[in-house]
Amino acid sequence: MTQIEIDHDNIHLTKPDMTYIGSYRAAFAEYRAHNVEDFAYPKVASKRQAKVYMARVENFRHGINIPMGYVPNSGFWLVDGRNYLGSGDVRHYLDDNLRKLGGNIGYSIRPAAWRLGLGTLLLSMLLEEAIKLNISRPIVTCFDTNVASAKIIEKHGGVLLKKITNRYGGTDRLTRIYEIGLTVQF
């Protein structure tokens, strides 16, 4: 796998932005090439599709036009000024389904940036965003086979609450459910 050149001094979160759409598309292709089936972000083959996607993310942030089965969430991209590096979401609250799969925080690093500590950095940044939303005990889930994600969650103080089986993509998948205690200013 070819890694991308990253400007480590400029890594930050941003709302999805057209500046990074070419890099985002490349990341989408990387996920498919690595058979990562749980990358839930849409393919944006055209500028119009990208604008629709970005408008939807902004609406979700403000609780506007939320479809049945979804909750308001704040979506972010991890970028370095040149490249899209990953995505993350902080769900403002949980429904019964998200308590079992998805949790308050979901995140993903593109394959060309794996094994560089960016998952750890991204989760740290998303936990800071959760604090801003007064989420004091976010739930974070991962499939049991995703050892890297489990290690990242545990590094951030994640306490394994339980493992359950979820049906995902037509397959039963053992899922770890963690809770992370945060200090929230009320």
Q: What is the 3-state secondary structure (H, E, C) of 80-116?
A: CCCCEEEEEEEECCCCHHHHHCCCCEEEEECHHHCCC
Q: Which CATH number does the domain housing residue 75 bear?
A: 3.40.630.30
Quick: pLDDT tens for 21-67.
999 888 888 888 877 765 566 777 788 888 998 999 999 999 999 99
The answer to the question of residue 45 being in a domain is: yes
Query: Which range of residues forms the domain containing residue 127?
Result: 8-179
Q: How far apart are CA 53 and CA 145, in angstroms?
A: 30
Q: Is residue 2 situated within a structural domain?
A: no
Number of domains making up the chain: 1
Domain assignment present for residue 163? The answer is yes
What is the reported pTM? 0.92
Residue 184's pLDDT band, with cuts at 50, 70 and 90, is: low
Q: Is residue 78 part of a domain?
A: yes
Query: DSSP state, 63?
Result: T
